[in-house]
Amino acid sequence: MIELSGSEGFAEPVAEVWRRLSDLSFLARAIPGMSSPARTTGGRLTCKVKPALSFLTGSLSTTIDVRERREPRLVLAIRSKGIGSMAAVTTTFDLREAGGGAAVDWTATVDELGGLLKPVGAGLIKASAGKVIASAWEGFRAQLAAQR
């Protein structure tokens, strides 16, 4: 099992970050590599994503399901499938007050890799996922700024 974690700080108050982070329509606009319009229904987001990974080409059909949405915790189950590859990831976000704003402590656990991704080493997966996660946080920050 591969696990990544980190913490992100925001100037905005916890309530605002929570409102945006737990809104799948808002999150859809922050997903890097989105190659088709996202659809949200209830607690599910579906979209196509073209990842910027050298060892994975084409688009991935991605589904994000809300597993838990109880402030200050959000748990998302993310499943991506492409030609000859698949990945299942569980991501947990815990919000807290920090320095007059909000902090989001997050953990992403790779639950399953299949197809062409299965033989890829954990180091390469972590490095690639780290880039995607950093890009997603940049997108989230940009969307927050656009809402001011």
The pLDDT of residue 3: 96
What Å distances lie between residue 108 and 48, 84, 121, 146, CA to CA? 20, 23, 17, 26
d(CA 94, CA 109): 15
Q: How far apart are the first and last CA of the chain?
A: 39
Whether 146 shows a pLDDT value over 70: the answer reads yes
Whether the pLDDT of residue 54 is over 60: the answer is: no
Where in the sequence is the domain holding 89, given as residue range(s)? Answer: 2-146
Question: Domain count of the chain?
Answer: 1
Q: Where do runs of H (alpha helix) occur along 22-121? A: 24-28
| pLDDT, tens digit (0-9, with 9 covering 90-100), for 27-42 | 998 888 887 778 999 8
Higher pLDDT, 130 or 51: 130
State how far the Cα of 17 lies from the Cα of 11, in Å rounded to an integer. 9
Here the tokens at position 89 are 């990831």
Is 0.95 surpassed by the pTM of this model? no
Q: Which helix (H) or strand (E) holds 57?
A: none
Write down the pLDDT at residue 116.
77
CATH number for 22: 3.30.530.20
Q: Are 10 and 93 in contact (CB under 8 A)?
A: no
What pLDDT, in 10s, does the model give residues 74-130? 999 999 998 888 999 999 999 999 999 999 999 999 999 998 778 888 888 888 888
